[in-house]
Amino acid sequence: MMIDSPDDILPEYDLDYSRAQPNRFAGQARVSVTLRDDVLAFLEARSKANGQTIGDMVNDMLEKDIELSEILR
């Protein structure tokens, strides 16, 4: 098979994207936050007492805060 121009695509590369899902393999966003010493000490103590990581505990706290703000809206 002969290609007419460099921009022509070979038939084997003519793919069907009709069922494609955007950002299917995109990762989660990571955000770094600098905490005050007193806030960090509180979170460390509370996460240790609850047997959670600080990240999991902060995510739970933020989810609850979001739920409350939606209720109070």
pLDDT tens by residue, 5-61? 667 778 888 888 888 888 877 777 788 999 999 999 999 999 999 999 999 999 999
What pLDDT score does 20 carry?
Answer: 86
Whether residue 42 is contained in a domain is answered as yes
- Counting Cα atoms < 13 Å in the Cβ hemisphere of 68 gives 6
Query: pTM to 2 decimals?
Result: 0.56
| CA gap 34, 44 in Å, rounded | 14
Whether residue 49 is contained in a domain is answered as yes
Whether residue 5 is contained in a domain is answered as no
Q: How many domains does the chain have?
A: 1
Whether residue 27 is contained in a domain is answered as no
Whether residue 15 is contained in a domain is answered as no
Whether residue 21 is contained in a domain is answered as no
Domain limits at 56? 34-73
What pLDDT score does 15 carry?
Answer: 83
Buried b (16+ CB within 10 A) or exposed e, 24-44: eeeeeeeeeeeeeeeeeeebe
